[in-house]
Structure 1
Amino acid sequence: MKFLEDNSDFGINPLDKKYKVLSGKNFFVLWSSLGIGLLVISAGSFISSSNLSEAIIAIIVGSIVGSVLLALAGKIGSDHSIPSIVSMRPAFGLHGSYFLTILNIFQLIGWSTFEITILSKAANIFSNGYIDFHIWSIVFGIVIILFCILGPLKIVKQWLTKFAVWVVYGSTIIMLINIILGGVNNLDTASLINSGSSDFSFFNSLDLVIAMPLSWLPLVADYNRFAKKSKNAFLGTFIGFSITNCLFYVIGLLLGISDIFAILLAIQTFFYGFVLLVLIVDEVDNVFANIFSSAMSFKNIYNKINYKYLVVCFTIVGVVLSNLIPIYQYENFLLIIGALFAPLFAIVLTDYYIIRKGRISVEKFYEKNNRIKISSFFSFFVGSITYFILSPISPLHVEDFALNIGSTIPSIAISIIVFLVIELLIKKVKLKNKEYSTDKKIE
């Protein structure tokens, strides 16, 4: 197996041990940072606030469940030094992973477009409108390209660990205290708590919370592959992401403002411009991660092209789209992500941890004769359809049933069950054929 020896290009081949340098603390910092975002505040506002204790429980449970899945997916990468898209190959096949590559690039470009739009609008507000939105989008595009060229190791060790994430944590605490003390629009806490307009049930709220860590599943191993130790990377990822995901969903819940631009104005007016500036700085890391992983995903199809050319290309696409496509139906975008990636990674994790029991050689990820696994795609299809039927965004929405169980849990459960049943039947058929062949030879 060819290992990556030249750190000037992060390809899909396994990393050499000398590049596995990130500690558990580094991953705590990285995933704390990636769990922070203005869009997370917007997502939190969709959660029903009629019952505060129930809403907070949904946020805590959803963050824990989603972060465990995120850390488990990252562990495949840190175990074998491989990027995320390659980690899907044993479960879906080499050619099957090409379809997942396209799917992943679309969602990552979608996230990048959202993030660049938010960054540019936030900077426009921070500058009191003196610098145009379109100019800011180009400025952030250049910054993102520079971040990507520096690569994840320098960004994590030099930028996030030493400075950025700690300032963001401080600003987050300031913002949360201001909201609790009624520092927005002179409203008291009770008014804030009851300001939400969503009628989502507990399980619908759970779906929205889990959707955020699910959106990071297709790229977590792109960074966790640099881990010194898989166990430390797992713990750092789980703890870091679950904490900040909880904090920002709670802020969104209490703030009760779903319009992202109204959120930006509220932060600028009531939480001081400094807090908005800090969040702008941290939001760049999220776009960097999406663009960098878009390049890693594309290299699954064509590994020879240098990732630096790809990040320039994908950043330009994100900047152009941010100037053309308005942000709307963000809630629906989150639920679509859940419908696609909840069953997908349920199958990937089941294949790795249950069927293979985590015992797989790195060569298995690069086998060319494992082209496509029909059992995985069929299970993925059934799980996605289940999610869409039970989701509030679906015209086929089964309301009473979905209110009781939501979409994520049944989607994951049915994907795993169908996948395991099909794999068991395939194993039995192969065993019978082997016995039949043995009997024939004896005769």
Structure 2
Amino acid sequence: MQPQPRDSIVEARSFDFIPEGERHGTVRTQVQFWFMVNATLITLFTGAVGPSMGLGLSWALLAIILGSVFGTLFQAFHGAQGPHMGLPQMIQSRVQFGSRGAVLPLAAATVVQFGFAVFFIQTGASSLAAITVDQIGLFDVVIGAVAVLVAIVGYNLLLRIEKIASYLTLANLVLLTIAAIVVLPIGTMLSNSAFEPVPFLAQFGAAATYQIAIAPIVSDYTRYLPSKTKGRAVSAAVFGGTMVSAVWLESLGAALAIAMPKADVITAIHDMGDSFGFGLGTATMALAVISCLITCSLSFYSGSVSFLSALEAFRTMTSSSKVRAITIAAAGVIVIAATLLLPPDFLGAFAAFLSILGYFLIPWTAVNLTDYYIVRRGRYSITDILKPDGGIYGRWGVPGIISYTLGFICMVPFFSTAIYAGPVATALGGADIAFAIGLAVSSGTYLLLTRHRDFSPEFNAVREAPLNTMDESPSVTRITT
């Protein structure tokens, strides 16, 4: 394994292992990084789900907090896997699913990330057009192209940009909160304490699912931390960072949806800022362009890692800056073209399509975390994970595939999207609790299928592997080489 030159500007790593000599960063920088992941105006829409169904502000805030805590727990547990294993998130699935069995969740993760890039580009372009001139098509191309370039340079640049942007975004959110208190009738809205069970459940599910959707990319950005970094600290950093920004923006989205029910929440936050004064509305839109551009870069980065992880199971390849650049650039061309060609009335259906793809990742996170924390307890052969044939894990991981498939099938009646609503979701008035079903069924099934398996031969092979993690507890990290 060739080390990446220290003076290299463009990151060479993609799906491969990060050697200790290339590890850097602190838990504090991770807090700032993950805070920014949710600090986009798109997060406002999640907070508007319950209020759009008649939920009062006080109950909406409670549902947002509870749902975010629930969903963020699953997301944050993946954070400890990064420094412990030194691998990006989705390629770790080869342990549970096999090198080729993992292709389905890898493919879903790829499409979802590139699909989200479409929305980040569009939102950024619309925000820029709101404060300049109506040249959305041109803005789509510019924002998409810059996001591609940032993603190609890679992790170090993303980390630096996120750190700087976090300070500006924090200040902006503080001012927006003050503006909401001054401009909106917060007291009146809070006094409406009528409880509506279906909207409450819908808001809880939306907040939880929004957080779980980040799970497939977490280790992509924690794998560069030194292996001695405590897993609990990393998980806490991921949890705190994404939780704060999600709850904060979703709460603002809920308040705006109630105060201005006929306005789009992004337009509403712009108008609220302008009503407050000091150019806050314009400043918010300008920062929205930056945050959408950064998050779009993350989508290109993680989407390319997932794509190359899937491709490498069928064709041996060496990770390099050239391979990364070509993959990200090709994805950028496709995404920008889709942004320009998709008609506005198609975006709602496309969003529902991405939601369905997101369902494919919920059973994956259940199986992956159950294996890591309960079954194998973080004892893996990195050497074998990186083999296209799966090494000791094989090409097809039957327990993982069965657990995943059963969990997904059980979720179908609970699906709630514009394209398809299952019978149970319809009976619940459109509330989406499919995530809870998928998590419970897939995790429970995987535990049942592996409860009598003797892992001793496998763990002996892991000890002999050139690269392995053999700690009894994944909360403490040690890489053996």
Equivalent residues of 2:18, 2:223 under 8 A apart: yes
Shift of 1:264: 3.1
Q: Is it true that 1:117 corresponds to 2:122 in the alignment?
A: yes
How many Å separate the matches in 2 of 1:383 and 1:413?
Answer: 8
Shift of 1:55: 2.2
Shift of 1:335: 4.5
Per the alignment, residue 208 of structure 1 pairs with: 206
How many Å separate the matches in 2 of 1:344 and 1:352?
Answer: 12
Name the count of aligned residue pairs: 420
Question: Judging changes above 3 Å, is the alpha-carbon distance between structure 1 residues 192 and 67 closer, same or farther for their aligned structure 2 residues?
Answer: same
Per the alignment, residue 217 of structure 1 pairs with: 215
Per the alignment, residue 165 of structure 2 pairs with: 164
Shift of 1:333: 5.2
Between the aligned residues of both structures, percent identity stands at 18
Per the alignment, residue 18 of structure 1 pairs with: 21
Shift of 1:171: 0.8
Q: Is it true that 1:357 corresponds to 2:364 in the alignment?
A: no
Greater share of residues in helix? 1
Aligned amino acid, residue 209 of structure 2: A
Equivalent residues of 1:4, 1:13 under 8 A apart: no
How many Å separate the matches in 1 of 2:24 and 2:162?
Answer: 15
Aligned amino acid, residue 174 of structure 1: L
Equivalent residues of 2:37, 2:295 under 8 A apart: yes
Per the alignment, residue 240 of structure 1 pairs with: 241
Q: Among residues 397, 413, 424, which one is paired with 2:451 in the alignment?
A: 424
Alignment of 1:124-135 (within 5 A): 124-129=129-134, 132-135=135-138
Question: Judging changes above 3 Å, is the alpha-carbon distance between structure 1 residues 405 and 329 closer, same or farther for their aligned structure 2 residues?
Answer: closer
Q: Is it true that 1:87 corresponds to 2:85 in the alignment?
A: no
Q: Is it true that 1:372 corresponds to 2:417 in the alignment?
A: no
Secondary structure of 2:69 counterpart: helix
Per the alignment, residue 99 of structure 1 pairs with: 104
Question: Judging changes above 3 Å, is the alpha-carbon distance between structure 1 residues 259 and 168 closer, same or farther for their aligned structure 2 residues?
Answer: farther
Q: Among residues 334, 337, 340, which one is paired with 1:323 in the alignment?
A: 340
Q: Is it true that 1:249 corresponds to 2:250 in the alignment?
A: yes
Secondary structure of 1:227 counterpart: coil
Aligned amino acid, residue 422 of structure 1: L
Q: Among residues 52, 61, 64, which one is paired with 1:56 in the alignment?
A: 61
Per the alignment, residue 144 of structure 1 pairs with: 147
Shift of 1:14: 0.8
Q: Among residues 268, 271, 274, which one is paired with 1:269 in the alignment?
A: 271
Aligned amino acid, residue 26 of structure 1: T
Shift of 1:316: 1.5
Equivalent residues of 2:93, 2:102 under 8 A apart: yes
Equivalent residues of 1:34, 1:286 under 8 A apart: yes
Moved more, 229-238 or 408-417: 229-238
Shift of 1:289: 0.5
Aligned amino acid, residue 171 of structure 1: N
Question: Judging changes above 3 Å, is the alpha-carbon distance between structure 1 residues 365 and 103 closer, same or farther for their aligned structure 2 residues?
Answer: same
Unaligned runs of 5+ in 2: 274-280, 458-481
Q: Deviations over 1:250-296 (max 9, x none)?
A: 11111117999833333333312011111221121110110011111
Q: Is it true that 1:339 corresponds to 2:342 in the alignment?
A: no
Question: Judging changes above 3 Å, is the alpha-carbon distance between structure 1 residues 142 and 406 closer, same or farther for their aligned structure 2 residues?
Answer: closer
Q: Is it true that 1:35 corresponds to 2:38 in the alignment?
A: yes
> TM-score normalized by structure 1?
0.86
How many Å separate the matches in 2 of 1:260 and 1:317?
Answer: 34
Equivalent residues of 2:3, 2:19 under 8 A apart: yes
Q: Among residues 422, 438, 443, which one is paired with 1:396 in the alignment?
A: 422
Q: Is it true that 1:294 corresponds to 2:303 in the alignment?
A: yes
Question: Judging changes above 3 Å, is the alpha-carbon distance between structure 1 residues 355 and 190 closer, same or farther for their aligned structure 2 residues?
Answer: same
Q: Among residues 433, 442, 447, which one is paired with 1:415 in the alignment?
A: 442
Q: Deviations over 1:289-345 (max 9, x none)?
A: 100111111221144461011111111111111112232157745753552222110
Q: Among residues 359, 368, 372, which one is paired with 1:348 in the alignment?
A: 368
Per the alignment, residue 471 of structure 2 pairs with: none
Q: Deviations over 1:377-410 (max 9, x none)?
A: 2221221222221233354322597579933222
Equivalent residues of 2:257, 2:265 under 8 A apart: no
How many Å separate the matches in 2 of 1:287 and 1:193?
Answer: 39
> TM-score normalized by structure 2?
0.80
Per the alignment, residue 433 of structure 1 pairs with: none
Shift of 1:106: 0.9
Unaligned runs of 5+ in 1: 431-443
Moved more, 401-410 or 363-372: 401-410
Question: Judging changes above 3 Å, is the alpha-carbon distance between structure 1 residues 208 and 375 closer, same or farther for their aligned structure 2 residues?
Answer: same
Equivalent residues of 1:391, 1:402 under 8 A apart: no
Equivalent residues of 1:37, 1:279 under 8 A apart: yes
How many Å separate the matches in 1 of 2:424 and 2:99?
Answer: 36
Q: Is it true that 1:71 corresponds to 2:76 in the alignment?
A: yes
